[in-house]
Amino acid sequence: MFNKWRKYSYAAQKSQRHQLWWILIWFGAFFILYTIITAFFFMAVLENDTMQPGLHPGDRFIFSSCRLQRVFSDSRDSPFRRGNVVLVDLDREKRRGVFSGVLDGLFRFFTLQRLSLNDPGGRLFIKRVIGLPGDEISMINFVFKVKPAGEVYDMTEFELTERSYTPIIPQVPVLWDESIPFSGNMDPVILGDNECFLLSDDRSNTNDSRTWGPVDLNLIAGKAVFRYWPFTRLGQP
């Protein structure tokens, strides 16, 4: 009863409108900040065992987007380097568009990043970059040899990476020659101007460029810059 005077008080109504405007302004500012941050950084979880032994199912990573990588890249051809762990989205080109991007951003904002309108449908993969545009690559016993564009000699994938990693090399039958799919050997392939070659660390798994073929750089969503879970394995992947 005592507070009914607020309905008839111009000062009280003005104060309420003022508070509402401040709430809207703070909400808008927070949403803009959130949009900027998620445009350059996002999180993803490794949901399978294709990157063992270095990365494990359940590992959680912070990725820097391809936009940010291109800003700080010292190469015109690729914002990534051999050995980088990246997130590839094979359906990324289908989901491009400003309007759909804004709607998806709002949806993810209100669901705390748990849901998205742009459902990847199982087409997101965490893989390692083995070859860059212009590289000539080949595989012998599941180990890749890479001849960078303009170079005379090739080297193993481990000599060209900026971070060390240990792949799982499967044991195959002696008579399993290169005429049989996934034998562990691959004839030389020269990557195109906007192509890279992505691979699983577990070489017995074939859900990578050995089955997809070279991947367009535009399909790479970002590079893993930090593993934040589990706490026992914090750091750069």
Query: Which of 15-19, 175-179, 183-187, 200-204 ranks highest by mean pLDDT?
Result: 200-204
Classified by CATH at the fold level, domain 43-233 comes out as Umud Fragment, subunit A (2.10.109)
Q: Rounded to an integer, what is the distance from CA 201 to the centroid of its chain? A: 16
- Crossing angle for the helix pair 10-40 and 98-110, nearest 10 degrees? 110
The pLDDT score that the predictor gives to residue 145 is 95
- Give mean pLDDT, residues 38-66: 88
Q: Residue 216 in contact with residue 191, Cβ under 8 Å?
A: no
- CA angle 128/146/142 to nearest 5° reads 65
pTM confidence score: 0.79
| Mean confidence (pLDDT) of the chain | 80
Q: Is the pLDDT of residue 38 over 80?
A: no
Lowest-confidence region among 17-26, 53-62, 223-232: 17-26
Q: Is the pLDDT of residue 9 over 90?
A: no
What band does 200 get if pLDDT is binned at 50, 70 and 90? very high
- CA angle 209/214/217 to nearest 5° reads 115
What band does 166 get if pLDDT is binned at 50, 70 and 90? very high
What band does 68 get if pLDDT is binned at 50, 70 and 90? low
Domain boundaries, the chain: 43-233
Who wins on pLDDT, 175 or 47? 47
The pLDDT score that the predictor gives to residue 69 is 56
Instruction: Please return the burial class of 234, using the count of CB atoms within 10 Å of its CB with bins 0-12, 13-18 and 19+.
Output: exposed
The pLDDT score that the predictor gives to residue 1 is 47
